[in-house]
Structure 1
């Protein structure tokens, strides 16, 4: 995932518009939240940890976010929106349903490998953030299920429900390898998922 790195704004006087400064600060804080949380976990991550990583004052932090959860939710929504867009783009274009599903799964798994901080934010630490975060995760997962149903051209409600099950099961299966940093295990899920979906498609269950 092409997540912005934590970069400082120029020191001293500069001609940057205030809205650009505010946007850059907000992005740095969200990125810092993802990075620190991937190291310490959501519960042990403090606002002070995020401030130190982003190199931003507490006063500036509270101009953008009301709490640790508020910053986490903004980072989560930014990351899931980007991930969703990348998956849809990967599946677009030529090829049959299973081939396009293969590209979508590969995109998802490679994102987890290339950006473990954001991956943990989206997949595992969201459980520790509480009910509001879980509500947004559920909505995100449902959207992915709908995308998979469209990619696989699921023609019945039962087929679309199966696609939602596939997404939910995939989210569970990647959690362990993600926490362990096992990239090979993450990547190995792809071919097995695709083979299973191909069998379901051939059996008329999608």
Structure 2
């Protein structure tokens, strides 16, 4: 099974981009453990020497793929922001775009979200980088709420990440956009917005 073409950063060389796409295809079809450098270079149509000019090994190539694919999804998220709208609308629209981007490549996102946990401390470090970037986006977007601290932003990201993992485990990677309302509510609750009315005043008890 082949993945969709992955939108990598234009700063990648042609060979590096081809190798990343090849890693995406091979790992998605075989699993990272079974994927070999020989299979990746054959898929990319380059030599092993070329592979080692860009990556120190298979895991290094996979981590580069994870960073590139995650960076592409985060760019989609940031580009969806409409600063003229209230932050609640900005967050929901951006998360919807982010989740739709992930859902457009279900084999790729399933492989990335699952396999990154098999790479030990190196995988954990790269995963934290990506989660921190998403938390930073939330902090930038929700500026006027002192209760929404960096810890709350990371808690929101962690909650959304778990929602995505659960959907993947249910075989629903292609329907991730449907998580948008729940993911947005997680952010609003942690920011305290669901305790207020549309004017920012406390809601009256019923």
Same fold (TM over 0.5): yes
Residue 130 of structure 1 pairs with residue 120 of structure 2: yes
CA distance in 1, matches of 2:72, 2:146: 29
Instruction: Say yes or no: does 1:173 pair with 2:163.
Output: yes
- Out of 168, 181, 194, the residue aligned to residue 202 of structure 1 is 194
Matched, 1:41 2:31: yes
Provide closer, same or farther for how the CA distance between residues 144 and 69 of structure 1 changes in structure 2, counting only shifts above 3 A: same
1:113 CA drift (Å) = 1.0
Distance 1:4 1:145, change over 3 A: closer
**Correspondence 1:147 to 2:149:** no
Q: Which runs of 5+ in 2 are unaligned?
A: 197-206
Equivalent-residue separation in structure 2 for 1:145 and 1:2 (angstroms): 27
**Residue correspondence of structure 1 range 1-206 to structure 2 within 5 A:** 3-4=6-7, 23-153=13-143, 155-156=145-146, 158-183=148-173, 185-199=175-189, 200-203=192-195
Distance change in 2, residues 1:2/1:87 (3 Å): farther
Write the distance in 2 (CA, Å) between the matches of 1:154 and 1:33.
Answer: 42
Task: Provide the rounded CA distance (Å) in 1 between the counterparts of 2:110 and 2:151.
Answer: 26
User: Is this contact kept in 2: 1:109–1:187, CA < 8 A?
Assistant: yes
3-state SS in 2 of match to 1:91 = coil
Offset at residue 162 of structure 1 (A): 1.9
Q: Which whole-Å CA distance do the structure 2 matches of 1:78 and 1:29 have between them?
A: 12
Distance in 2 (CA, whole Å) between partners of 1:87 and 1:68 is 29
Moved over 3 A (4+): 157-160, 195-200
8 A contact 1:32–1:53 mirrored in 2: yes
Q: What TM-score, normalized to structure 2? A: 0.79
Alpha-carbon deviation of 1:180?
A: 4.7
Q: Is the alpha carbon distance of 1:151 and 1:121 closer, same or farther for their aligned partners in structure 2, counting shifts above 3 Å?
A: farther
Aligned length: 189
- Determine if contact 1:37/1:121 at 8 Å carries over to the other structure: yes
In the TM superposition, what whole-angstrom CA distance separates every residue of 1:89-124 from its partner, at most 9, and x where no partner exists?
112432111100111111121112102244235422
